Amino acid sequence: MLERQEKAALAVLVCVVGIVLAAHLLFAAFGQSLVADPYSEEVPDGALVLLEGSIEGIRETSTGGHLILTINGTPVFLPQNVATGLELHENENITLYGIVQTYRGTREVVVSSAGDIRVVK
């Protein structure tokens, strides 16, 4: 009888792990759009935002490797690990998710993953 209970417990454990993994994958794929606010000046620091628009400017930081995009007049910071391998061009339309922060008195959006940036064709 103990063997039967162990099999049942293992089956329940496998089901729970499967459900948690599926929920994680679904949230990673669709979750940001459910919790992100559209970017505006009223959104507080630390908020996850959605920013859509045309790239008005691209420049590299003085320390190199990092990029700063200007989208709809808003600075967007791409750390080196995000910027590496991206092919972005001025006047491209993009959609991105990032965290709002104030850096040296200027509000900006910080992108944490290259997967949070999508070029709109």
Contacts (Cβ under 8 Å, ≥6 apart) of 104? none
Confidence category of residue 87, pLDDT binned at 50, 70, 90: confident
User: What does the domain layout of the chain look like in residue ranges?
Assistant: 1-35, 38-120
* The pLDDT of residue 22: 83
| pLDDT over 90 (residue 94) | yes
Distances (CA, A) of 102 to 5, 54, 107: 56, 22, 4
Q: What is the 3-state secondary structure (H, E, C) of 39-62?
A: CCCCCCCCCEEEEEEEEEEEEECC
What fold does the segment set 38-120 form as a domain?
A: OB fold (Dihydrolipoamide Acetyltransferase, E2P) (2.40.50)
Distance (Å, whole) CA 55 – CA 89: 7
Percent of the chain, pLDDT > 70? 90
- The overall pTM is greater than 0.85: no
Q: Give pLDDT tens digits for 51-61.
A: 999 999 999 88
